[in-house]
Structure formats: C-alpha cells, structure tokens
Amino acid sequence: MNLRTIITSVLAVIIIAGAVFINKKLSSSKTIPKPKPKKTVTMVVAETVKNGSTPISITTSGNLAAKEKIELFAEVQGVFEDTGRDFLPGEYYKKGALLIKINADEHRANMRAQKSTFYNQVVGLLPDLRMDYPESFPKWEAYVRDFNIDRFVPPIPTPVNEKEKLFVAGRNILPTYYSIKNMEERLSKYNIYAPFSGTLTENLVRHGALVRAGQKLGEFINPSVYELEVSINTGYADLLKVGKTVDLHNVEKTKTWKGKVTRVNSLVDEASQTIPVFIRVSGKGLKEGMYLEAEVTAKEEQNTYEISRKLLFDENKVFVVEDSLLAVKEIDPVFFKQSTVVIRGLENGTQLLGKSVPGAYDGMKVTILDDERKTTDGGR
C-alpha cells in the first residue's frame, strides 16, 4: 500500500467522524416545546331541587285465592253416579245444586232392615204397656201407627215417668233407635250439594268410578270474590288499617282493580320481618292463582325530593353543581323505590346533577346544559 492511499483513508475517517460529531451537536441544540394542557369543560344536565311532600307507596305482590273455596272429599264409599252434568273444571253450579252423587243402595237396604227390627221391637212393647203403663200406651200406639219405613224415624215418645223410661230402656229400644239415626245421618253424605254458587276448578274422579271414604274428589270455588295475601314490612304495618283502599294491577300493568284491606295478621315472619296482609278484591278478569301487584300509599314524607337511584353513590351521596364545579353532598335516603329514591337534605334551589357523568369527581369543571327537571327515569 503506497503513502497516497494511506493518507486518503485517514482523511475519509476524519471527515466521517467530523460529520457524526457535528450532527450530534445540532441534535442536542434543538429544544422541543412542551404541549400546553387543554382546558376541557364537561356539559352536564342539572335539575333544580324543589322539596315537598312525597307519597311513600309500598309495592308488593302475591297470588289470588278465592275467598270461598272448598275441597271436596268423600266420607262414604260407593260408585260415583251420573248427576246429569259433567263433573269437569269450569262447570258452574248454583247454590244448592247437586255436585256429587254416590250410589247408596246398599246403605239404604241395611237401614231398612234396621228400621224393620226397630219397628218390631216397638210393636212388642205395646201389650206390656197396655197392662202396666196404660197412661203411656196411647202415644206409643200412635207412634206405631204413624211409623213409615221409607221415611226418617221420628223421635221416640217422651217417658211419662222414671218407671216407663227404665221399662223402655230394658227392651233395648234406645240403642236400635240411635243406630238408625246414625245411619240416616250417614245417608246424607252420599250426596254433596254446592254450598254456594261457584265453579268446579279441579276434578279427580269420573262418573262410574269407585269412590272410597277419605278420597279427594275435586275443588270448588266462588269466582266472584278473591283475596290477595301480601307481605308488608313491619315498619309500615301500623299504617295499613282494615278498610284501606289498595291499587292492584297485573304484571303487564294493562289491567287495574281496586282492593280493600280486610285482615292484618298480628304474627311477624321471623325470617323476613314482614306481616301478612289480606286484600279483598272482585271484578272482571280475575282468576284463581293469578299473580297481582299491589301498591299501597302508606304515608307522605315532608320536605323531601325524589331522584333516580342512578344519581346516588356511596349509599348517601350525590353530585351538585356549585359555581360551575361539581361538589359532593351527603343526603338522607328516606325510602327506596324500584327505580327512584326519596331523599332529604338538599336545600330548595340546589342544582342537582340530573344525569350520571362518567368519571365525575369533586371539583370537576362543568357547564349546565339543561336546567329542567326530567319527568322520567329514562330522561335522567
């Protein structure tokens, strides 16, 4: 390698090194200006607080049950006979109409046999009564003459004295008589009549089936009057008096009825700390087992304001607007409803934050967009 080549290489290295050094100096001498923070103002919706009297309505629910309702049971055994009407759910019967007829031929035959025995016993008394108790003979003779085996046995004649009473008892007349009266009473159980006008809601037997004593046959209700059992918090139990009017509606809130408190239980449920209240209601469209909601105006809270539950945080705090800044205020929640809460503690004229603001904090700069009170929860 000659001298010229060496000198050229060294100069090239020096030039490159100088260029790198000059570039670094120029880069370090540049100053990047810091960005100025932008001042943002959040637009919010506010409402003006106007304290007043707020009705406290208790909303509860339950299932309707017929006020008059009976379960039909058989007390005797026999074949379920046709009554000329279908024994099916929805069948309407007037008061006193025959609901159930159980064949009683065997029972009637046994009763007739027992009556024949009794008749013979009474006839056997007459000769001795004529001889020993002539004063008692005429009434016993009339009793035998009027006796009809196909009718209920009439009461036996009242003894004139103690001797006659002992004489009749010694002939085993009384046990036979009371046995027949017992059979007559049992005969009435083969037919079941409607105790009130109503509808059959359940049938468990059909015509021609063998019915056994103690067997459930169906269910019968009066569809004109119902009761709704609801549970009320003990704190409002003293405000629900018998006779108080209650607003009722179905789940869809398409139908409404007026009910009246008829009974208030004095027993408190230990688990839920509620008291059962019974509301009587009648009207078109009501059915057994129907689910209804009840709204009861228990009382009115004075100097309160009702807001959306979405505006409440930390259980007892809300945001208000003061001098274009958000401020946290502690309030007293008086009563919680389904979507709103009744509060106390804000002065009249206070600008309450009307809609929740994401990331809201104490001291946040805001501008009120709308100062109108929203009338619906969806508007908040």
| Residue-wise pLDDT tens digits, 299-340 | 788 999 999 999 999 889 999 999 889 999 999 998 887 788
DSSP assignment of 263-322: EE--PPPTTT-EEEEEEEE--TT--TT-EEEEEEEEEEEEEEEEEEGGG-BTTTEEEEEE
Report d(CA 245, CA 111) in Å as an integer.
56
The pLDDT score that the predictor gives to residue 372 is 46
Question: Cα–Cα distance between 60 and 272 in angstroms, integer?
Answer: 13
Question: pTM for the whole thing?
Answer: 0.64
- What is the pLDDT, as a whole number, of residue 55? 84
What's residue 187's pLDDT? 94
Q: Is 262 helix (H, G, I), strand (E, B) or coil?
A: strand
Residue-level pLDDT at 378 = 40
Q: What are phi and psi of 329, to 5 degrees?
A: -125, 135
The residue to which tokens 């908040």 are assigned = 380
Phi and psi at residue 155, to the nearest 5°: -60, 140
- Structure token digits, residue 318: 């809300």
Residue 192 region by backbone torsions, left for phi larger than 0, else alpha for psi between -120 and 50, else beta: beta
Q: Is the dihedral of CA 113, 117, 123, 126 positive or negative?
A: negative
Cα–Cα distance for residue pair 183/175, rounded to 1 Å: 12
Sequence-ordered list of residues with C-beta below 8 angstroms from that of 99, at least 6 positions apart, any chain: 72, 83, 87, 93, 192, 193, 194, 200, 220
C-alpha span between 189 and 139 (Å, rounded)? 32
Q: What is the pLDDT of residues 244-291, one digit of tens each?
A: 888 999 988 899 999 999 998 888 888 878 889 899 999 999 999 999
At residue 141, the pLDDT reads 92
Residue 3 pLDDT > 80: no
Largest CA distance in the chain: 183
Token pair 């304290």 in the structure block, residue: 51
